[in-house]
Structures are given as structure tokens and as C-alpha cells.
């Protein structure tokens, strides 16, 4: 049963408040000693013409007589509700047993379509650690929305168009050696791309040549188009290798180039609506009334810009998917671009522009340095993942851990450690990567949560043969048990909060707190010791069982896998 709804119904019946107001008012107290739920009586003060503390005292007595609610205390202007612990534990654990791996799942999405655009690396450039922020964040959001009953489409809007390809073509024709590139495609293409920027600082005419090459590409020139296709194909092979390691899958790889034949319509629409004005030879949409710089649609040479392509992409997605939400997981530095983009779409009369959302995220630093692809100062994602796996393997071996498959365990724990780090705080907060915190088996980390799960599974293996399906939960009541089960009960709310705010860290924080509560539970409530009677043993085993299921599900929503032993 839903204990919060039960409390809200009691409040509504006695006060006459509408259900929505009562539901929004009820809150979880900051301290467990203050109760399980609290209701502030301040909204009733004007209606009843009494001080909130007086109202709280009068209502407390009327709300106490209930099997579910153990007691109600009036503290200041608040009503603090304390549940019957035995009933709460029994009802919650039984509900999780029934739901299995779908505990906390919801159909709130009602099958409506949510598009999540994320990762979106540039063709012919290697994955660096900064790309993982978008990938980890977007992958988790896609899983979370799907868990809530939305029809999620994961989109990888590849950076496969733009003047950078003119630069790469220019670089390839000057310094490219196909035999060398075939041996190590992405790294060799990056080398000549970086060299182009270095040489262009001494030879500015290179930039003009690059722009001309891109214009040829837009016009369908065969030589430049063939080179572009080659760069794209070898890049996708590398990208998919990395995605396989991370367990990430996409429904669409339509990149910027896909929309190259759809941009003329956008220009025509904006021109027909008298939104285009000339500025230094370029065609722009004036946004001065919104205190923003103009949005460039066509450059002075008639070439399109990424804003044009993004508008074409949004229009295509609306027509194709009729989306409920169109989410862009792109770094916070691009916030102005998306404000301009959505504003142009609104000016065009597309009200669905309000359903487009920019989900920004902060910067990534390693050893205190910002990461950059432009000048070669870059930390490769491969290197970070491989080092994390290697360090995890060393820890497993040092601890003489009885892990059956150390290689698989090291991979899951090492990759999980990196993913957790990107999702542990609010997404707009910058990240400083540190091996000490990422691989801390006793702190707030993926290994800590994975170890909690593995510890629970180990207990259950030792109890093999014991049937705890008919457990008497009156035997399990304790402070630590109740705190743990309260955490279990809160999973669905954490998932909904994560989707509502587009912040996976709500799930991350949840599973960390759940693991902490689980550690306290099994350290203070013996399970398999000989002096523990069978009825108590069964009740505690049932709680271990459902806890491991919820830890696994929660970590899964973050893209993190579990291991059965550590």
C-alpha cells in the first residue's frame, strides 16, 4: 500500500483540503526522530483562523486512531506521523517481492515519446573523457524515462558535418598517408587535424581553403564526399567499440549530415515568416527583443551553420516522432545556442518548441586540467577505462577476493566506478576525476554499492535451501531494519525525481544511501549465525533478498552492472 497516500487521505477527510494541495504539503522530516512524514498546518491558518501550533494540537488527537499510523505528534505548527513499523516492513517487503525487478516502475509516461539526444561525438576524433559525461548522463536518462513508461528513443546526433570537415579534408590532402591511417585511423586523423590548426596560425589562407572544401562537400562534389564517407565509416567502427564496452545502444545515428537536404525548407519557412534579416552579408533571426544575440541561419557565403541544421533536425523529429519531450544532453557552455534555437522555433510559430529541453552539464578535469580536443591536450576515454579496470583488478588480487571471473568483475567494477563519478552530483557541477575517490570501496562510489550487493548475494547463497517466502516480519522489527525498508520504499520517488529534474544523481544518491542502510542492517542484525532462530532468520533473509534486487535495479538505471561476488 502507499503509506503517503493513506496519510494524505486522512488529512483530506479531516481538514477538507483538496488532495493535490495535501499531497504537495506532506514532506519527509529531516530527522527520523521527527517521524516518517510531516504535514505543515500553515496552509490551514487562514481558513480556520487559528495559529498553526493550535491547529496541529487539535488535529493530532483526531488522527491517532489508526492501525497504519502508530501515533501523531504535534510539534510547533507541524503534524508528525509515525507509522506502525511492523505493518510498514511487512507491506513494503511483500510488495517488492511481488514486483520483483520492476519495483519502483511506473506507467506515468503512458507510452508518450521522449527523445534523448546524447553522446554525439565528432567524426574523425577519438572519444575523450569529456564525451563520457554526455554519454553517461543521456544513457541514464533514457533508462529512467523508459522505466517510467515512456517510449524512449536514444539519438546519437553525430558531428559529421560542418567546416571542420573542410579542415580535415585539407589536412588529409596535404599530410594524409592512407597506409598509416589504416593502421590507427582515429588517432592519425586527429594528428593531421591538430596539425592543420597549428599550420593555419602561420598560414591563415588554409582556413579559406577549408571553407571552400566544405562548400564543395555541401554541393555534392564526389572527391570530397568520398573522403567524408571514409572518415565517417572508420569513426563509427571505433565509436561502436566504445559503446559496446559501456553497454550503450542507440536507436538512431542520424547526424548533422542527415539534415543537409532538409535545411532549405527551414530557410524558406523563416523567410516566409519575415524572420530573416541581413547582417554583414549573413542571414540571421533578430533576437534582440529577448536580450540575445542574433541567430545566424546562413553565412555570408550562403553556407548553413549548425543552428540551421539543429532547427531542421527538430522539425524532422517532431514530424517523425510527435514527441512529448525532445531532450538535448549537451554541455552547459552551449546553453545560449539552445536558447537561441528554441526562441527561433517559437518565433516560427512552433508551440512544440516548449517541449524541447536542453539538459546541460559541467566540465571535466583530470589532475586539475580542462580537457581539449583542439590542441591535442586530451585524455582518451580508452586510457581512463583501461586504467580503471587495471586498478580494480589489482585491488581484487590484493584483497585475495574469491571472485570466480576476475576479468569480468574488474571490467564491471572499473567501468561502473567511472560512470558513477559522472552521475554522483548535480549534472551542472564540474567534475575533478580522482582514482582515490572513484575506486574507494568504502566511500561513496560504485564499488561500494556493488560490494553491498555482492555481500547480500553471498548471504543468500549461504542460506540456499531456506524458504523465506512465508516470513513473519514481526521477527525482523528493529531500528536498522526500519531505516532500510524506508529506503526501499522510496525508490519509486527517487526515479520520478530524477526524470522530473533530468538529474540521474537522485538515483545515484538513492542507491548509495540504500547501500549504507543495508550495511548497518546486516552489521547489527545477524542472519546466518547459529544463535539466530529460524523465524528471525527467514524474515531477515527476505529483506536481504529484496534489497539486493533494488540495488541492482537502481545501479542498472545508471548504466552500472553488478557482480555476484567481490
Backbone angles phi, psi at 304, to 5 degrees: -80, 170
pLDDT digits over 251-298, tens only? 999 998 999 899 999 999 999 999 999 999 999 999 999 999 999 999
Cell 541567430 appears where? Answer: 295
pLDDT of residue 288: 96
pLDDT digits over 304-330, tens only? 788 999 999 999 999 999 999 999 999
Backbone angles phi, psi at 448, to 5 degrees: -65, -45
pLDDT of residue 551: 98
Would you mind telling me the total number of residues written for the chain in this entry? 566
pLDDT digits over 417-432, tens only? 999 999 999 999 998 8
211 vs 340 pLDDT, higher one: 340
pLDDT of residue 304: 76
pLDDT digits over 115-126, tens only? 999 999 999 888
Candidates 12, 77, 86; CA nearest to 38 is: 77
Mean per-residue pLDDT, 166-189: 91
Between CA 502 and CA 504 the distance in angstroms is 6
pLDDT category at 375 given cuts 50, 70, 90 is very low
pLDDT category at 127 given cuts 50, 70, 90 is confident
The pLDDT mean for the chain works out to 92
At 401 the three-state DSSP class reads coil
Report residue 378 as a C-alpha cell.
586530451
Mean per-residue pLDDT, 354-377: 74
Using a pLDDT cut of 90, give the percent of the chain over it: 76
Between CA 82 and CA 94 the distance in angstroms is 20
pLDDT of residue 369: 56
pLDDT category at 400 given cuts 50, 70, 90 is low
pLDDT of residue 373: 46
Decide if 251 contacts 293 (C-beta within 8 A): no
Report residue 213 as a C-alpha cell.
572544401
Between CA 99 and CA 21 the distance in angstroms is 29
Decide if 83 contacts 69 (C-beta within 8 A): yes
Beta strands at 151-155 and 364-366: parallel, antiparallel or unpaired: unpaired
At 153 the three-state DSSP class reads strand
pLDDT at 333 > cutoff 90: yes
What one-character DSSP code corresponds to residue 322? -
pLDDT digits over 265-275, tens only? 999 999 999 99
pLDDT of residue 307: 92
pLDDT category at 184 given cuts 50, 70, 90 is confident
Decide if 268 contacts 260 (C-beta within 8 A): no
Amino acid at each position: 500500500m502507499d503509506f503517503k497516500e493513506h496519510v494524505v487521505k486522512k488529512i483530506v477527510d479531516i481538514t477538507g483540503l483538496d488532495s493535490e494541495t495535501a499531497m504537495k504539503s506532506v514532506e519527509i522530516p529531516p530527522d527520523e526522530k521527527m517521524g516518517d512524514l510531516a504535514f505543515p498546518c500553515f496552509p490551514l491558518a487562514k481558513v480556520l483562523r487559528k495559529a498553526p501550533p493550535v491547529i496541529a494540537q487539535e488535529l493530532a488527537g483526531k488522527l491517532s486512531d489508526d492501525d497504519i499510523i502508530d501515533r501523531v505528534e504535534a510539534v510547533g505548527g507541524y503534524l508528525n506521523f509515525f507509522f506502525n513499523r511492523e505493518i510498514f516492513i511487512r507491506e513494503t517487503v511483500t510488495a517488492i517481492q511481488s514486483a520483483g525487478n520492476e519495483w519502483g516502475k511506473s506507467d506515468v509516461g503512458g507510452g508518450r515519446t521522449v527523445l534523448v539526444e546524447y553522446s554525439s561525438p565528432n567524426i574523425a576524433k577519438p572519444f575523450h573523457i569529456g564525451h563520457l559525461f554526455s554519454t553517461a548522463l543521456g544513457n541514464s536518462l533514457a533508462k529512467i524515462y523508459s522505466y517510467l513508461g515512456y517510449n524512449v528513443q536514444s539519438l546519437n546526433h553525430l558531428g559529421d558535418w560542418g567546416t571542420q570537415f573542410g579542415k580535415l579534408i585539407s589536412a588529409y590532402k596535404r599530410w594524409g598517408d592512407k597506409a598509416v591511417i589504416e593502421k590507427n585511423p582515429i588517432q592519425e586523423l586527429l594528428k593531421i587535424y591538430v596539425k592543420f590548426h597549428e599550420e593555419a596560425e602561420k598560414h591563415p589562407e588554409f582556413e579559406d581553403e577549408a571553407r571552400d572544401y566544405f562548400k564543395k562537400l555541401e554541393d555534392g562534389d564526389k572527391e570530397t564526399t568520398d573522403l567524408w564517407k571514409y572518415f565517417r565509416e572508420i569513426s563509427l567502427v571505433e565509436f561502436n567499440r566504445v559503446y559496446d564496452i559501456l553497454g550503450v545502444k542507440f536507436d538512431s545515428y542520424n547526424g548533422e549530415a542527415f539534415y543537409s537536404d532538409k535545411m532549405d525548407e527551414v530557410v524558406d519557412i523563416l523567410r516566409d515568416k519575415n524572420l530573416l534579416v541581413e547582417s554583414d552579408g549573413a542571414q540571421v533571426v533578430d533576437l534582440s527583443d529577448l536580450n540575445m544575440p542574433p541567430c545566424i541561419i546562413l553565412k555570408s557565403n550562403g553556407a548553413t551553420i549548425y543552428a540551421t541544421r539543429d532547427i531542421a533536425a527538430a522539425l524532422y523529429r517532431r514530424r517523425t516522432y510527435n514527441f512529448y519531450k525532445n531532450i538535448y544532453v549537451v554541455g552547459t557552455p552551449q546553453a545560449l545556442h539552445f536558447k537561441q534555437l528554441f526562441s527561433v522555433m517559437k518565433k516560427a510559430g512552433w508551440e512544440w518548441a516548449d517541449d524541447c529541453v536542453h539538459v546541460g552539464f559541467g566540465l571535466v578535469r583530470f589532475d586539475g586540467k580542462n580537457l581539449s580536443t583542439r590542441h591535442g591536450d586530451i585524455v582518451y576515454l580508452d586510457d581512463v577505462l583501461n586504467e580503471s579496470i587495471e586498478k580494480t583488478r589489482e585491488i581484487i588480487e590484493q584483497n585475495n577476493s574469491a571472485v570466480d571471473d576476475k576479468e569480468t568483475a574488474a571490467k564491471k567494477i572499473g567501468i561502473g566506478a567511472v560512470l558513477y563519478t559522472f552521475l554522483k552530483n548535480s549534472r551542472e557541477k564540474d567534475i575533478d576525476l580522482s582514482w582515490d575517490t572513484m575506486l574507494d570501496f568504502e566511500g561513496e562510489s560504485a564499488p561500494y554499492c556493488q560490494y553491498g550487493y555482492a555481500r547480500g548475494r553471498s548471504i543468500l547463497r549461504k542460506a540456499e535451501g531456506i524458504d523465506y517466502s512465508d516470513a513473519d516480519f514481526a521477527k525482523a522489527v528493529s531500528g536498522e531494519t526500519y531505516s532500510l525498508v524506508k529506503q526501499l520504499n522510496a525508490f519509486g520517488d527517487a526515479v520520478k525525481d530524477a526524470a522530473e529534474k533530468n538529474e540521474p544523481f537522485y538515483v545515484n544518491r538513492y542507491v548509495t544511501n540504500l547501500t549504507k542502510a543495508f550495511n548497518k542492517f546486516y552489521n547489527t542484525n545477524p542472519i546466518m549465525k547459529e544463535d539466530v532462530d529460524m523465524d528471525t532468520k527467514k524474515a531477515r533473509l527476505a529483506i536481504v533478498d529484496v534489497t539486493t534486487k533494488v540495488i541492482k535495479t537502481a545501479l542498472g538505471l545508471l548504466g552500472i552492472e553488478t557482480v555476484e561476488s567481490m
